[in-house]
Amino acid sequence: MLTHIPVERHEVVRARFNSSAQVLFDRLSLLYGQQANFEDWVIQLMTRVANVHAQRSDELLSLDAQREANPNWFTQQTMLGYCAYVDRFAGTLQGVNQKIDHLAELGVTYLHLLPFLRARAGDNDGGFAVASYNEIEPRLGNMDDLRDLTQHLRDRGISLCSDFVLNHVADDHPWALAAKSGSSKELDYFYSYADRTQPDIYERDLGQIFPQAAPGNFSFDATLHRWVWTTFYPYQWDLNYTNPAVFEEMALALLELSNNGVEVFRLDSTAFLWKRAGTNCMNQPEAHWILQALRSIVAIAAPGVLLKAEAIVPTAQLPAYFGTQNPATPECHLAYHSSLMAASWGALAEQNAELIYNVMQATPPLPDQTSWLTYIRCHDDIGWNVIRPEANQDNQNAQERLRHIAQFFAGAANSFARGASFQASDANAVHGTNGMSSALTGFASASTPQELELAQRRLLLLYGVSFCFGGMPLIYMGDEIAQANDENYINVPEYANDSRWLQRPFLDQAAFNARHDRATQSGNLFAQLCHLLERRRSLPMLAAATPITVLRHRNSALLTFVRGESTNTSTNTSNANNALLFIGNFSDQAQTLVLNQLSLPSPINSWLDQLTQQHYTDTIVIEPWSQHWLSAAT
């Protein structure tokens, strides 16, 4: 491997290799050790990894070294993410450069631009049907534009995150086209079957991602005359990771993108990477081995890069994507906390924080050098089934409970929300929910200034939970200016059958331009959100690794938890100055809380609200949908 790398890098790369080689080779052996010529394949893989590393720029090598020296760089309370579609945010990759000042004003340090690689012609699942991993979607720019943008972002302390779709490729990807042309080599990159015998065996245990728009998990390809595994849409062909060539090509494609300046990869659909009959083909052990092997390769060739798991699974299944089953085999640096997101919305609908409590108590402490990605909205629907285990607690029926929540956000009677159900073919089933945060919190239904104020409080309350829970919070484009739903998507033929485009609007330029005018709706929200962010950056106890203590009590409308150590356990002395108490009112009625009745490790007689600088001693009244960030007054 070293013979393919400049001599001056040998010592550093040798140290990285020695640190990661055991896990890498162990995982590759578990996955592919039974293959003929396994050892020759490993040598080929590592030679190609070395060749890509040799092309890494001096600037990126320096970044690698800085981050190796400070491996918790991304876990600090100063980190903030922002997520947007390139075209809807800024038109093109070049256009994003013009939005960097806005990102910097918010304090963004991590920019997730939704799929910008060349996508399938025609329907492409919002860019997630990738036709090429080494080309940019032409209407968005080219590789030179990407390198230029990442340089400008780095100059402002912002890391670019790219989607990297691991599970599938488009049916017009070169591999799929070669398979259709009769190449047995590329056909083996996919799962395909001559008849329905094997697919029907698998289908017995498989769920459906899009039961209305794309039912089933296999699609018949008329050119191949075979059934192809297509978990998502028929034009997205699942990759066959039992074939080592698939792992090799995908790992190299990721490294090539990292050499073009991408610093974080959102690994799409990680839970689906391995198929096993008799299971739902999710969260299989081999899926984790694939990610652990990929992490090891990144640690050798591009250690400044972060991997983020997009695994929308129940709370109990999330921690494994950090590699927590064995600390010696790290996996992803980041993972979406989808359960916390869904539970927070559920709490709004129920005016009850019990779902959030259940999720928080089911969430284990983070391993070192990892962080949750906490978020409120994204380009996808809110999937309620991830909190089914938590909804089944509190002596309630999960199906009925989640169905009520989904109907509430779809605009049921007496609801402030104006969202839409996703893949709703059965009125009695639990469906996902679509809609922008502003529409789901009541901005769209508000008819008075008072109702607008309550809508704003709800939106800020959700972000407050995200900001204080622990991890890297993510703002979805437009939430900072109360961006409305894009109701016009229904008139665009390629989007009309996918209501997720409701939350994929073009940036409201008028609201964006008014964001500094507090007399406007967007300006008022923007100022208050920026205030929360400014306070968060100043509070070290909100870093990802700081412990969280859930303070469950009998008033279920209130969410209370502590970040930080209230007591130094080694000396049994008070450390209250290093703790923050979050209080959130998830109801439309004011609530009174006696502070000294909370089960705090040590008593605090005087409190300071970090948001308002107001002091409290014993009792606090929390207005409807409001929040307080309290610390010990000094």
| Residues designated as active site | 268, 310
In angstroms, rounded to a whole number, what is the distance separating the alpha carbons of residues 474 and 109? 10
Q: Are the CB atoms for 307 and 372 separated by under 8 Å?
A: no
User: What is the pairing mode between strands 81-84 and 110-113?
Assistant: parallel
Rounded to the nearest 10 degrees, the angle between the axes of helix 38-54 and helix 244-259 is 10
| Residue 587 CA: distances (Å) to CA of 233, 349, 406, 418, 556 | 40, 9, 18, 18, 9
Q: Are the CB atoms for 175 and 169 separated by under 8 Å?
A: yes
Buried b (16+ CB within 10 A) or exposed e, 120-145: beebbbbbbbbbbbeebbeebbeeeb
Q: Are the CB atoms for 117 and 141 separated by under 8 Å?
A: no
| Residue 359 CA: distances (Å) to CA of 237, 340, 390, 560, 568 | 34, 6, 6, 13, 26
Three-state secondary structure along 164-199? EECCEEECCCHHHHHHHCCCHHHHCCECEECCCHHH
Residue whose tokens read 């996955």 = 31
Residue 351 burial class via C-beta count within 10 angstroms: exposed 0-12, middle 13-18, buried 19 and up: middle
Residue whose tokens read 């008033």 = 555
Q: CB-side exposure of 243: number of CA atoms within 13 Å?
A: 15
Q: Nearest-CA neighbor of 237 among 321, 184, 174, 313?
A: 174
Three-state secondary structure along 474-515? EEECCHHHCCCCCHHHHHCCCCCCCHHHHHCCCCCHHHHHCC
Three-state secondary structure along 420-484? EEECCCCCCCCCEEECCHHHHHCCCCCCCHHHHHHHHHHHHHHHHHHHHHCCEEEEECCHHHCCC
Q: Are the CB atoms for 272 and 162 separated by under 8 Å?
A: no
In angstroms, rounded to a whole number, what is the distance separating the alpha carbons of residues 364 and 534? 28
Determine the 3-state secondary structure of 337 from DSSP. coil
* Terminal-residue alpha carbon distance, the chain: 58
